[in-house]
């Protein structure tokens, strides 16, 4: 009965309602059918009470009356079965379709978001969002909504019925509902807040529990298992304490709600005692029976509320995606002239506060090679990501062929740029698919030619099914160098005039590395190249080298000029030379 | 340093074990017995108290029918209920609370058990767990088990008891009417059973479609950067959208088959008033029961199905949870790594691999190493070389006992490492890890992890040797700066040097390192090299190397290819042999002089 999810801020139910579109009618109809189902059950109660009142008045049981009552009972049963069938059918169908629509809407939105949003994101979170979270929403739509209607349907019928007989008794019955339901609503609100607090406390403690697993190698290496276990025990005890405290806080209000509701029974009895003189026996019996029957459905609100809280937590996570700003395409658009690249007064901060790049300006003429070097954290990779239009700069503009990136026709920036980064995104599908994505409608010959140029043909044909070998989670595993050569083949096939290259930092074996190097040499020929370099020897031939430090260009020039300047580049270079001369010994 | 090969050993359970949740929890009953007993007793008490309103109502109904009811009776009934109702729900609350406490205690005990088991698994198996899988194992799955105990108890016990009391009461009053009251229950269960049977064939297709959709979604999200960069959104999204639509369609079809009978269950189980009423009137007419008895059935029978529905939902939940705790089941059923606990006398620190074979899979045919034999001289440097997939990292992992070999022996100083206690092995061997994990605490604490009794002077000396002293003292609190996972205070290269300082403090005679991971930060390469040099001095070093110039002075180079040792010797000897090593050296030299150029033919063939 008690489970909590957090919802700190208002949830966008409206968006779901709008997304539901044509299913809105079906959802409303489902609720209406639920109501009718409750009323059909109410009919059964009404018939029962009718019989009881008459019997209490001493009415003789006649055949015809028996058949009448039996008929009413049959009608009630048929109504319940029929309306329940209609309600469940509609609710389920609507819920399935709305889930599908919401998934498609999320998909659209994820695709429209800037690439930067997807970099370094836990994919598992998004997969969960699109499967589990949408399912939670579906459960509330198919089940929870109906329960809410049922919680109020029968009690409403009962109150109307009772009021028709005796308003005072109806009011007595309604009294604890009027007190209890607001209490539950209030509680539900408070529980959400509590859930939020628990989530943050729990996140902290959970992190320490997981730490135990991740830290195992260190713990064992230094023989500190005991200490690790002690830390772990502390964290687990912490989780235990939080959970117990939370349950205490949760159980009490729910029980108060139920108790308040059920106290309606003695309240009704008191009301009967108060008015007993003027009441017929039938009315008293009716009131007693109804007082006992009216509260049970309302208690079910507790579980409906729980479903709603879970759905709201899921909605909140969906909102986080829906509320991400989507860059608006500029209109009108212009086509670039040539593919020189210019970076003009660009500043950028990931969080809007701490600038990673500051007032950066430089030009890259067509078919020239520019290298960017600098210590770690100087903003090199960020700069590449901005040029690839993963993000928009906070201020300043980046232009291709004289046209700022946002003003290029949709797709053009991506067509003009090939990016080869350290982190190669291969997707499930064959090797062929993974290369052919570089050019629409590429033939097998074209793909094979690109693979040959990228020094990838050899290892691909050695795979069990050659170009048709499946990659990805369940498919063949490629080494880092091989993955990169696939990415290079892709870029060669794409044949974009601008190449952005983020040189790999991880050491790979010499055979792979040489193949990779040759693949790169084939790729960059005759293109505009911007390379983030870690091994300074590869960029000795660059037309221009920019030295980046803390987000600004501190030096620029050719390799020879920079070495002569005796500045940061010269220092970095000296250290590289030193590192390359190092040999390990014991 | 252990090779990642995460998801290859998980075999899908052929038959979902519906009682897995109970099986996993059973050994942890001990610490929960107290609250559990309390919870059950309270559940019995609150269920009996829940009968009070029924009983009072029936009593007043009887009085009214006999025209004997006085206002005082109603007041008396109201007063009684005004006491029992709050008491009932207080007990319900206490029962729920205690059952949760019991559940949390069992989960705490389970988590400690998983942790204890983990510390005895081969390290490689532990490092194979992604942080996501660790989270599932330690947090999410145990949390799910909470429901089994916390809800099944107070609600289950209450529901069963209520159902039994009411059933006995009904049958004791009048068997025909009792039958009329319960009539719809078997009908409802039958409907549900038929509904499940009817939809089972589709259920499989439905689950497949669900898996397929999640797979396609995951794949779409995995490739989304490539899809965007090559703006191939069209085909990719069409495939994903189709999977989503197909799933919705299958859901609809499945729903259409299930709903006519399955939906009926929920309506039927609450509808028994419609049977009680006519049968009751006919019985009255026949004189088999009197009005009071009829009223009893109306009041008592009207809610007959409610506890059964609760039980039905609980069973559903339990089966659902049981199939969702696979990670726990998998880990707890993994074989522990034997630990002799022995402290054996070592003759020097020479490392020997003697016909070692090993593979990551459980089947014997995917060996990563085959019959590998070599000797790494004590206090000398041995390099492992080879193309990717040759088995270099595996050799390093086996030496640290991340895994145990399938066959063959690994010895240090003449003793089999499997015969040494874990403690001795760990005192003998140091590694420079792939990902330097730092527990939360100060830098000094992180360093003392290696040697608890190290003086501050020792820490400073180790930090100096590891080229970490300067950046540590530049931090606001120096050695007392708080660091920890994700604090972002230290860069990768700095964390690496801290790890090296720690290894220097530990001063184990054998050092294993993987160049690819030891130098993951190219911008700080020179600093890390100096740190490594300090660490390696006087040790038996086994290094997985890629940059061949770093190992030209190695005492022995082991060349691996396809899991076999194909050559060994010193640099000059191997060059002279003109085999794989010589080819790698040529490639390496060519790469070092390669230049990227956009304008001219890049370079002539070598």
Q: Tell me: the pLDDT tens digits for A419-443?
A: 887 777 777 778 898 888 888 888 9
Contact at CB, A537 and B593, closer than 8 angstroms: yes
* Selected residue of A221, A381, A524 to mutate for chain B interface (largest B Cβ count, 10 A): A221
Q: Tell me: the pLDDT tens digits for B535-577?
A: 888 899 999 888 888 888 899 999 999 899 999 999 999 999 9
- CB contacts of B252 in chain A (<8 Å) are 92-93, 96-97
CB nearest B229 (choices: A217, A419, A531): A419
Q: What's the per-residue H, E or C state across B189-251? A: HHHHHHHHHHHHHHHHHHHHHHHHHHHHHHHHHHCHHHHHHCCCHHHHHHHHHHHHHHHHHHH
pLDDT at A344: 93
Helices B175-182 & B184-222, crossing angle to 10 degrees?
A: 20
Q: Express as a percent the part of chain B with pLDDT over 90.
A: 25
Q: With a cut of 80, say whether residue A552 has pLDDT above it.
A: yes
Q: Tell me: the pLDDT tens digits for A443-499?
A: 999 999 999 988 888 889 888 888 988 876 555 678 778 888 888 898 888 888 899
Q: With a cut of 90, say whether residue B229 has pLDDT above it.
A: no
pLDDT at B589: 87
pLDDT at B573: 94
Q: Tell me: the pLDDT tens digits for A182-193?
A: 888 887 777 766
B355 vs chain A: nearest CA distance in angstroms? 25
Q: With a cut of 70, say whether residue B100 has pLDDT above it.
A: yes
User: Is B253 strand, coil or helix?
Assistant: helix
Contact at CB, A123 and B221, closer than 8 angstroms: yes
Contact at CB, A288 and B61, closer than 8 angstroms: yes
Q: With a cut of 50, say whether residue A341 has pLDDT above it.
A: yes
Contact at CB, B553 and A584, closer than 8 angstroms: yes
Task: Kindly state the helix (H) or strand (E) to which residue A529 belongs, with its residue range.
Answer: strand A528-532
Which residues pair with residue A429 across a beta bridge? A471
Q: Is A502 exposed, middle or buried (0-12, 13-18, 19+ CB in 10 A)?
A: buried
Q: With a cut of 50, say whether residue B15 has pLDDT above it.
A: no
Gap between the Cα atoms of A358 and B135, Å rounded = 39
Among A366-370, B68-72, B252-256, the range scoring the smallest mean pLDDT is B252-256
Q: Which token pair is A323? A: 């509320």
Q: With a cut of 70, say whether residue B233 has pLDDT above it.
A: no
Q: With a cut of 90, say whether residue B350 has pLDDT above it.
A: yes
Q: Is A475 exposed, middle or buried (0-12, 13-18, 19+ CB in 10 A)?
A: middle
pLDDT at A62: 86
- Minimum Cα–Cα distance from B1: chain A residue: A217
Which residues pair with residue B382 across a beta bridge? B542, B556
Q: Tally C-beta pairs within 8 A across A and B.
A: 525
Q: How far is CA B216 from CA A102, A410, B238, B255, in A?
A: 16, 26, 11, 23
A310 vs chain B: nearest CA distance in angstroms? 15
Cβ count within 10 A of residue A505 = 17
pLDDT at B214: 80
Q: Which 478-507 residues of chain A touch chain B by CB within 8 A?
A: 479-482, 490, 494, 501, 505-507
Contact at CB, A288 and B134, closer than 8 angstroms: no
pLDDT at B38: 92
Q: With a cut of 50, say whether residue A3 has pLDDT above it.
A: no
Gap between the Cα atoms of B223 and B118, Å rounded = 34
Is the ipTM beyond the 0.90 threshold?
no
pLDDT at B8: 34
DSSP letters, A245-266, are HHHHHHHHHHHHHHHHHHTHHH
Identify each DSSP E strand in A247-392 by its residue range.
341-348, 357-364, 369-373
Q: Which residues neighbour B47 within 8 Å (Cβ) at sequence distance 6 or greater? A: B157, B158, B161, B162, B165
DSSP letters, B271-336, are -THHHHHHHHHHHHHHTSS-HHHHHHHHHHHTTTHHHHHHHHHHHHHHHHHHTT-HHHHHHHTSPP
Q: Tell me: the pLDDT tens digits for A102-144?
A: 988 888 888 888 777 777 666 667 877 888 888 888 888 888 8
Average of per-residue pLDDT across A369-384: 86
Round the average pLDDT of chain A to a whole number and report it.
Answer: 84
Among A222-231, B277-286, B465-474, the range scoring the smallest mean pLDDT is A222-231
CB nearest B426 (choices: A223, A262, A522): A223
pLDDT at B7: 34
Cβ count within 10 A of residue B476 = 7
Average of per-residue pLDDT across B463-471: 90
B460 vs chain A: nearest CA distance in angstroms? 19
Q: Is A47 on the interface with B (CB under 8 A)?
A: yes
- CB contacts of A490 in chain B (<8 Å) are 230
B386 vs chain A: nearest CA distance in angstroms? 7
Which of B410, B402, B416 lies closest to B356 in space, CA to CA? B410
Q: Which residues neighbour A349 within 8 Å (Cβ) at sequence distance 6 or greater? A: A355, A356, A394
Which of B549, B561, B221, B240 lies closest to B385 in space, CA to CA? B561
Instruction: Give the highest mean pLDDT range of A571-575, B108-112, B197-201.
Output: B108-112
Report, in angstroms and rounded to the nearest whole number, the Rg of chain A calculated over CA atoms.
35
Q: Tell me: the pLDDT tens digits for B36-51?
A: 999 999 999 998 998 8
- CB contacts of A281 in chain B (<8 Å) are 64-65, 67
Q: Tell me: the pLDDT tens digits for A39-86?
A: 998 899 889 888 888 888 878 888 888 899 999 999 999 999 999 999
Contact at CB, A265 and B599, closer than 8 angstroms: no
Q: Is A17 on the interface with B (CB under 8 A)?
A: no
Q: Tell me: the pLDDT tens digits for B399-456?
A: 988 889 999 999 999 999 999 988 898 889 988 765 567 777 889 988 888 888 889 9
Which of B105, B82, B102 lies closest to B41 in space, CA to CA? B102
Gap between the Cα atoms of A484 and A467, Å rounded = 16
Q: Tell me: the pLDDT tens digits for B241-277?
A: 888 888 888 888 878 877 778 778 888 888 888 899 9
- CB contacts of A482 in chain B (<8 Å) are 388
Contact at CB, B536 and A584, closer than 8 angstroms: yes
Contact at CB, A509 and B597, closer than 8 angstroms: no
- Omega before A332 cis (within 30°)? yes
pLDDT at B85: 94
Q: Is A521 on the interface with B (CB under 8 A)?
A: yes
- CB contacts of A366 in chain B (<8 Å) are none
CB nearest A127 (choices: B221, B291, B485): B221
CB nearest B549 (choices: A73, A511, A583): A583
Q: Which token pair is B133? A: 């899988």
Q: Kindly state the DSSP code that residue B484 receives in the 8-state scheme.
A: -
Contact at CB, B281 and A81, closer than 8 angstroms: no
- CB contacts of B533 in chain A (<8 Å) are 582, 584-585
Q: Is A2 on the interface with B (CB under 8 A)?
A: yes
Q: How confident is the model at residue B606 (pLDDT cuts 50, 70, 90)?
A: very low
Round the average pLDDT of chain B to a whole number and report it.
Answer: 83
Residue with the bigger pLDDT between A203 and A433: it is A433
Tokens 């801020």 belong to residue: A9
């Amino acid at each position: 009965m008690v489970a909590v999810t957090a919802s700190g801020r208002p949830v966008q139910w409206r968006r779901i309602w709008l997304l539901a579109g044509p299913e809105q009618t079906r959802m409303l109809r489902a609720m209406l059918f639920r109501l009718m189902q409750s009323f059909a059950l109410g009919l059964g109660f009404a018939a029962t009470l009718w019989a009881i009142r008459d019997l209490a008045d001493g009415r003789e049981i006649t055949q015809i009356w028996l058949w009448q009552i039996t008929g009413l009972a049959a009608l009630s049963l048929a109504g319940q079965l029929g309306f329940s069938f209609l309600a469940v059918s509609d609710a389920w169908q609507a819920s399935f379709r709305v889930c599908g629509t919401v998934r498609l809407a999320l998909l659209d939105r994820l695709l429209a978001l800037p690439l930067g949003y997807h970099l370094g994101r836990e994919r598992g979170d998004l997969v969960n969002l699109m499967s589990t979270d949408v399912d939670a929403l579906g459960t509330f739509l198919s089940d929870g909504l109906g329960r809410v209607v049922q919680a109020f349907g029968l009690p409403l019928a009962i109150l109307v019925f009772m009021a028709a007989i005796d308003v005072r008794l109806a009011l007595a019955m309604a009294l604890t509902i009027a007190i209890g339901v607001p209490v539950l609503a209030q509680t539900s609100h408070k529980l959400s807040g509590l859930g939020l607090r628990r989530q943050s406390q729990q996140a902290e403690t959970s992190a320490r529990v997981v730490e135990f697993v991740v830290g195992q190698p260190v713990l064992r290496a230094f023989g500190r298992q005991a200490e690790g276990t002690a830390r772990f025990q502390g964290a687990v005890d912490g989780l235990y304490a939080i959970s117990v405290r939370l349950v205490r806080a949760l159980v009490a209000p729910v029980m108060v709600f139920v108790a308040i509701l059920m106290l309606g029974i003695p309240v009704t009895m008191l009301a009967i005692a108060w008015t007993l003189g003027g009441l017929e026996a039938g009315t008293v019996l009716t009131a007693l029976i109804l007082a006992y029957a009216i509260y049970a459905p309302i208690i079910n609100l507790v579980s409906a509320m729980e479903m709603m809280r879970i759905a709201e937590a899921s909605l909140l996570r969906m909102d986080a995606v829906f509320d991400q700003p989507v860059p608006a395409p500029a209109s009108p658009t212009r086509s670039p002239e040539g593919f020189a690249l210019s970076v003009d007064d660009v500043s950028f901060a990931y969080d809007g506060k701490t600038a990673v790049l500051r007032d950066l300006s430089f030009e890259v003429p067509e078919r020239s090679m520019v290298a960017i070097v600098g210590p770690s954290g100087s903003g090199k990779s960020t700069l590449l990501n901005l040029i690839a239009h993963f993000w928009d700069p906070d201020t300043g503009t980046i232009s291709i062929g004289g046209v700022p990136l946002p003003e290029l026709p949709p797709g053009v920036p991506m067509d003009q740029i090939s990016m080869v980064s350290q982190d190669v995104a291969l997707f499930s599908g064959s090797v062929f698919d993974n290369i052919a994505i570089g050019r629409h409608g590429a033939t097998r010959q074209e793909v094979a030619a690109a693979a040959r140029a990228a020094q990838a043909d050899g290892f691909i044909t050695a795979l069990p099914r050659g170009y048709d070998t499946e990659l990805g989670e369940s498919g063949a595993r490629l080494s880092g160098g091989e993955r990169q050569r696939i990415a290079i083949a892709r870029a060669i096939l794409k044949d974009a005039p601008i190449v952005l290259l983020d040189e790999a930092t991880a050491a790979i074996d010499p055979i792979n590395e040489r193949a990779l190097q040759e693949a790169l040499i084939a790729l960059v020929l005759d293109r505009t190249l911007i390379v983030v370099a870690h091994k300074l020897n590869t960029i000795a031939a660059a037309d221009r080298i920019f030295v980046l430090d803390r987000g600004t260009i501190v030096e620029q020039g050719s390799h020879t000029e920079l070495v002569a300047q005796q500045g940061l580049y010269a220092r970095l270079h000296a250290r590289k030379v030193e590192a390359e001369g190092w040999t390990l010994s014991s | 340093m252990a090779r990642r090969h995460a998801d290859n050993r998980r075999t899908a359970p052929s038959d979902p074990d519906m009682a897995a949740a109970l099986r996993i929890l059973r050994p942890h009953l001990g610490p929960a017995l107290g609250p559990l007993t309390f919870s059950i007793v309270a559940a019995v008490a609150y269920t009996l108290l829940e009968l009070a309103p029924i009983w009072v109502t029936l009593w007043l109904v009887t009085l009214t029918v006999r025209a004997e009811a006085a206002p005082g009776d109603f007041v008396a009934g109201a007063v009684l209920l005004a006491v029992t109702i709050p008491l009932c729900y207080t007990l319900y609350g206490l029962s729920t609370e205690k059952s949760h406490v019991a559940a949390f205690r069992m989960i705490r005990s389970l988590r400690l058990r998983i942790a204890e088991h983990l510390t005895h698994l081969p390290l490689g198996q532990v490092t194979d767990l992604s942080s996501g899988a660790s989270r599932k194992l330690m947090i999410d799955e145990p949390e799910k088990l909470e429901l089994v105990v916390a809800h099944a108890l107070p609600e289950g016990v209450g529901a069963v008891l209520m159902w039994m009391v009411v059933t006995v009461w009904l049958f004791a009053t009048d068997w025909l009417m009792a039958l009329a009251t319960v009539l719809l229950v078997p009908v409802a269960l039958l409907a549900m059973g038929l509904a499940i049977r009817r939809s089972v064939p589709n259920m499989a297709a439905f689950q497949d479609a669900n898996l397929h959709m999640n797979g396609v979604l995951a794949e779409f999200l995995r490739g989304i950067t490539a899809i965007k960069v090559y703006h191939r959104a069209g085909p990719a999204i069409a495939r994903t959208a189709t999977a989503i639509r197909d799933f919705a369609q299958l859901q609809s079809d499945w729903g259409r088959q299930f709903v006519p009978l399955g939906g009926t269950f929920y309506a039927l189980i609450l509808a028994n008033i419609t049977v009680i009423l006519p049968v009751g009137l006919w019985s009255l007419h026949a004189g088999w029961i009197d009005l009071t008895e009829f009223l009893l059935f109306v009041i008592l029978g009207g809610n007959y199905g409610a506890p059964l529905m609760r039980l039905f939902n609980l069973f559903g939940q339990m089966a659902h949870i049981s199939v969702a705790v696979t990670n726990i089941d998998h880990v707890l059923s993994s074989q522990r790594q034997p630990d002799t606990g022995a402290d054996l006398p070592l003759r020097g620190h020479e490392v020997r691999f003697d016909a070692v074979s090993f593979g990551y899979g459980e089947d014997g045919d995917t060996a990563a190493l085959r019959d590998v034999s070599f000797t790494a001289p004590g206090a000398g440097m041995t390099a492992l070389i080879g193309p990717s997939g040759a088995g270099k990292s595996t050799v390093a992992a086996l030496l640290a006992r991340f895994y145990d070999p399938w066959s063959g022996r690994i010895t240090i100083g003449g003793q089999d490492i499997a015969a040494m206690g874990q403690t001795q092995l760990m005192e003998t061997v140091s590694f420079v890890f792939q990902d330097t994990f730092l527990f939360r605490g100060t830098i000094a604490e992180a360093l003392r992890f290696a040697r608890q009794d190290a003086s501050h002077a020792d820490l400073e000396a180790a930090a100096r040797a590891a080229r970490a002293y300067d950046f540590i003292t530049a931090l606001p609190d120096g050695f007392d700066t708080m660091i920890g996972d994700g604090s972002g205070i230290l860069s990768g290269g700095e964390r690496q040097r801290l790890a090296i300082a720690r290894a220097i403090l530990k001063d184990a005679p054998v050092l294993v390192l993987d160049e690819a991971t030891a130098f993951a930060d190219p911008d700080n390469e020179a600093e890390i090299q100096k740190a490594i040099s300090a660490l390696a001095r006087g040790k038996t070093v086994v290094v997985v190397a890629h940059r061949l110039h770093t190992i030209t002075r190695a005492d022995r180079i082991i060349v691996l290819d396809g899991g076999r040792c194909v050559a060994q010797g010193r640099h000059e000897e191997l060059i002279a042999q003109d085999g794989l090593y010589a080819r790698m050296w040529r490639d390496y030299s060519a790469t070092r002089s390669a230049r990227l150029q956009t304008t001219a033919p890049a370079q002539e063939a070598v």
